[in-house]
């Protein structure tokens, strides 16, 4: 009996054992089957996803910490086609809220292109508009179940950052803009595009939450702090707009620079654009050089150029301040007769008088005394015809014809001396003139003050481009320019401050090879206080109609800007500064 039970038990155990083995065998067979390999392949496709982490674009601040360019959240509004319950309701809502075409949207939702499960209806939707839609979706979701309204199921929102410019059009010519693809155009945005954008990080992330992994550290783009003073920039733009209105100019530029280190404090120009609506670029500007004329639009500067000719002459020993010149009202250079701006003869003049009365004949005589080699060597050393290296995209080099060039003629030596036949940008002239204001050393203009990346800070140092003239020459000419302005009772003077500077009125060359007799470019370059220059201002008014003369248009604009600058930069009048020095 006992043996019988044992036999039965053994049979049952054997059967169960066989059954278990069969299960194991089947499991192994399934696991190693062809289908299993396919399933494993399919599963591996979803086991991980390649995710790209885009860093936030770095911000741009002015020197006092005012945000000039930041980021804000906008939304991509799309529809998950597999989840849509009521295409009519979705299309109608999107049509009303986002202004998209109802019929087109409905057709897209009802008969989507094959293989699509998600369609983007509109991107870069403002946060408040997206919030309204989200609220509407929630409300209609609740009411849809009661059968009152259609459901907005399927409507999806994806947040992403977009460039934002809180100051609108302020300093637009300096900043440039970023398009929707995240690429910077013009100004700082283009020049420092790589730094601002940062480096995207690509990571393969397992979808299995069990496989936890380190979150990749994605450093934000570099934050830039500019040398620009926002309030001074606003004042410059306001003064420029007033000046253009007052003098009926077609356009204009004002640049304020610290001549000691090349920091650009303000750079205003017209026209300006609201950077938040960068798509209007093509409407506002006809070509790229108009975006920031201060660096990208070379022009014949006229008499402001005379300070460079005089600097070269003094430094080379061709003349001294007391050198006498008898102005007969005309001079023959290279077979052409050069006359003064008023066609008059000014008689015996010293070099200060030549500058004070802006005598073309005198300056042409000086350049011929120097000779072309010395004259053009100096102009080359001043940086004319070369890029200044300012850290803004789109700089133009201008043109300085030199002997040997196919289009250089001997008369050019005479006309170049007073700024005719030579093309330069305002920033080039400021850089060249900085050697006079800065005791002989030329500064390289720049707008970057500091960059901050991952908590590390790098300050851009002042850079110098050599010493084209000696300290003694610079100081002598500085004094001559201050005296000439005072003696002229120039409209550029600022009460309480000694200013050095020079006006310029330049005829505009036409494409037909002669000069327009009715239109001029009016300019003024000046700096102050003359004994310790802390600011340098360049004013350029294009074709002023109220008066063609720089002394009557650009000079008063300069005075207005200088008066504002001394207040905003806390520069006391000369008398107070002298008191401070004496104590």
Partner 1 sequence: MNLQNINHLVHAYKIAPWRIQRQWIGNILLAVVTLAMIAALYLDVTAQAAIAGREIQDLTAGIAASQQASADLQTELAVLTSASVMEERAQSLGYQPIESNAVEYLVVPGYSAPQPQIAAVAPQPQLSAPKIIPEYTQSLLDWFAQSISLSPRGLR
Residues found near partner 1 in the complex (CB under 8 A): 6, 56, 59, 63-67, 70-73, 127, 159, 161, 164, 166-168, 170, 208-217, 225, 230-231, 233-234, 449-450, 452, 454-457, 459, 494-497, 563-564, 566-567, 570, 572-573, 576, 579-580, 583
Residue 496 C-beta: closest distance to partner 1, Å: 7
3-state secondary structure of 473: helix
| Closer by beta carbon to partner 1, 16 or else 37 | 16
| Closer by beta carbon to partner 1, 188 or else 366 | 188
Sign of CA dihedral 89, 90, 94, 100: negative
| Closer by beta carbon to partner 1, 55 or else 78 | 55
| Closer by beta carbon to partner 1, 69 or else 443 | 69
d(CA 525, CA 499): 10
d(CA 437, CA 57): 38
Residue 61 C-beta: closest distance to partner 1, Å: 9
Residue 510 C-beta: closest distance to partner 1, Å: 39
Q: Which 8-state DSSP code applies to residue 220? A: P
Residue 361 C-beta: closest distance to partner 1, Å: 37
| Closer by beta carbon to partner 1, 176 or else 221 | 221
Q: DSSP string covering 428-466, please?
A: HHHHHHHHHHTTTPPBPPB-EEEEEETTEEEEPPP-B--
Residue 560 C-beta: closest distance to partner 1, Å: 10
Residue 471 C-beta: closest distance to partner 1, Å: 26
Cβ atoms of residues 269 and 237 within 8 Å = no
| Closer by beta carbon to partner 1, 59 or else 542 | 59
| Closer by beta carbon to partner 1, 193 or else 237 | 237
Cβ atoms of residues 528 and 497 within 8 Å = yes
Q: Which 8-state DSSP code applies to residue 317? A: T
Residue/partner pairs of 347-353 with CB below 8 Å, 24 or more apart: 348/324, 349/324, 349/325, 350/321, 350/322, 350/323, 350/324, 350/325, 351/310, 351/313, 351/314, 351/319, 351/320, 351/321, 351/322, 351/323, 351/325, 351/480, 352/321, 352/480, 352/483, 352/484, 352/487, 353/484
Residue 68 C-beta: closest distance to partner 1, Å: 8
For the chain, how big is the Rg over CA atoms in Å?
36
| Closer by beta carbon to partner 1, 9 or else 545 | 9
d(CA 106, CA 84): 11
d(CA 555, CA 499): 12
| Closer by beta carbon to partner 1, 379 or else 500 | 500
Question: Which secondary structure element, helix H or strand E, spans residue 380, and what is its range?
Answer: helix 372-381
| All residues at 6 or more sequence positions from 328 whose CB lies less than 8 Å from its CB, including other chains | 345, 361
Distance from chain centroid for Cα 426 = 16
Task: Match 């408040």 to its residue by tokens.
Answer: 128
| All residues at 6 or more sequence positions from 17 whose CB lies less than 8 Å from its CB, including other chains | none
Residue 167 C-beta: closest distance to partner 1, Å: 5
Residue 450 C-beta: closest distance to partner 1, Å: 5
Residue 426 C-beta: closest distance to partner 1, Å: 23
Cβ atoms of residues 294 and 172 within 8 Å = no
| Closer by beta carbon to partner 1, 163 or else 357 | 163
| Closer by beta carbon to partner 1, 129 or else 399 | 129
261: nearest Cα among 437, 479, 495: 437
Q: Which 8-state DSSP code applies to residue 411? A: H
Cβ atoms of residues 336 and 412 within 8 Å = no
Strands 336-339 and 330-333, bridge-based pairing = antiparallel
Phi, psi of 374 (to 5 degrees): -65, -45
| Closer by beta carbon to partner 1, 47 or else 159 | 159
| Closer by beta carbon to partner 1, 35 or else 214 | 214
d(CA 256, CA 56): 32
Residue 220 C-beta: closest distance to partner 1, Å: 9
Residue 127 C-beta: closest distance to partner 1, Å: 7
Residue 337: count other Cβ atoms within 10 Å of its Cβ.
Answer: 12
3-state secondary structure of 538: strand
Cβ atoms of residues 342 and 505 within 8 Å = no
Cβ atoms of residues 98 and 58 within 8 Å = no
Strands, E, within 363-431: which ranges?
none
| Closer by beta carbon to partner 1, 6 or else 204 | 6
Peptide bond into 446 cis (omega under 30): no
Task: Match 């050095």 to its residue by tokens.
Answer: 500
Residue 233 C-beta: closest distance to partner 1, Å: 8
Residue 8 C-beta: closest distance to partner 1, Å: 14
């Amino acid at each position: 009996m006992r043996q019988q039970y044992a036999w039965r038990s053994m049979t049952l155990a054997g059967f169960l054992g066989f059954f278990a083995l069969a299960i194991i065998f089947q499991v192994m067979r399934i696991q190693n089957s062809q289908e299993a390999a396919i399933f494993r392949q399919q599963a591996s496709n979803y086991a991980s996803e390649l995710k790209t982490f885009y860093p936030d674009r770095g911000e741009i601040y002015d020197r006092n910490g005012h945000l000039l360019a930041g980021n804000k959240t906008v939304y991509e509004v799309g529809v998950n086609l597999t989840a849509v319950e009521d295409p009519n309701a979705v299309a109608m809502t999107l049509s009303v809220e986002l202004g998209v075409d109802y019929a087109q949207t409905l057709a897209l939702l009802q008969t989507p292109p094959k293989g699509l499960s998600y369609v983007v209806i509109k991107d870069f939707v403002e946060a408040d508009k997206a919030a309204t839609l989200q609220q509407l979706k929630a409300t209609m979701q609740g009411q849809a179940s009661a059968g009152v309204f259609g459901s907005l199921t399927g409507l999806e929102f994806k947040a992403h950052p977009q460039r934002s410019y809180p100051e609108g059009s302020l300093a637009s010519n300096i900043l440039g803009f970023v398009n929707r693809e995240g690429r910077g155009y013009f100004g700082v945005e283009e020049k420092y595009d790589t730094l601002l954008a940062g480096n995207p990080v690509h990571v393969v992330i397992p979808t299995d939450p069990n496989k936890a992994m380190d979150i990749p550290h994605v450093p934000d783009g570099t934050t830039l702090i500019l040398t620009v003073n926002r309030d001074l920039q606003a004042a410059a733009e306001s003064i420029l707009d007033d000046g253009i209105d007052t003098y009926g100019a077609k356009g204009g530029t004002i640049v304020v620079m610290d001549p000691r280190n090349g920091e650009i404090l303000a750079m205003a120009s017209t026209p300006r654009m609201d950077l938040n609506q960068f798509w209007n670029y093509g409407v506002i500007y006809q070509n790229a050089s108009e975006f920031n004329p201060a660096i990208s639009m070379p022009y014949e500067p006229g008499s402001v150029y005379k300070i460079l000719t005089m600097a070269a002459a003094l430094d080379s020993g061709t003349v001294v301040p007391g050198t006498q010149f008898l102005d007969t009202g005309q001079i023959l250079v290279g077979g052409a007769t050069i006359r003064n701006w008023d066609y008059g003869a000014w008689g015996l003049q010293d070099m200060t008088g030549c500058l004070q009365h802006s005598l073309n004949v005198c300056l042409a005589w000086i350049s011929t005394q120097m000779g072309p080699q010395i004259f053009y060597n100096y102009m080359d050393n001043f940086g004319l015809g070369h890029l200044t290296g300012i850290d803004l995209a789109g700089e133009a080099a201008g043109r300085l014809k030199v002997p040997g060039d196919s289009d250089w003629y001997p008369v050019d030596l005479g006309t170049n001396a007073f700024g005719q036949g030579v093309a330069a940008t305002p920033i080039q002239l400021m850089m060249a003139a900085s050697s006079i204001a800065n005791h002989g050393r030329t500064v390289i203009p720049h707008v970057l003050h500091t960059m901050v990346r991952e908590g590390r800070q790098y300050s851009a140092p002042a850079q110098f481009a050599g010493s084209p003239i000696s300290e003694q020459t610079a100081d002598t000419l500085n004094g001559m320019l201050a005296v000439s302005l005072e003696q002229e009772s120039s409209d550029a003077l600022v009460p309480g401050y000694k200013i050095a500077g020079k006006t310029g009125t330049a005829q505009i060359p036409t494409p037909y090879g002669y000069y327009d007799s009715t239109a001029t470019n009016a300019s003024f370059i000046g700096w102050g206080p003359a004994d310790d220059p802390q600011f340098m201002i360049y004013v350029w008014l294009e074709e002023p109609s109220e008066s063609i003369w720089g002394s009557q248009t650009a000079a008063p604009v300069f005075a207005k800007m200088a008066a504002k600058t001394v207040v905003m930069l806390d520069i006391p009048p000369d008398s107070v500064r002298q008191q401070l020095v004496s104590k």
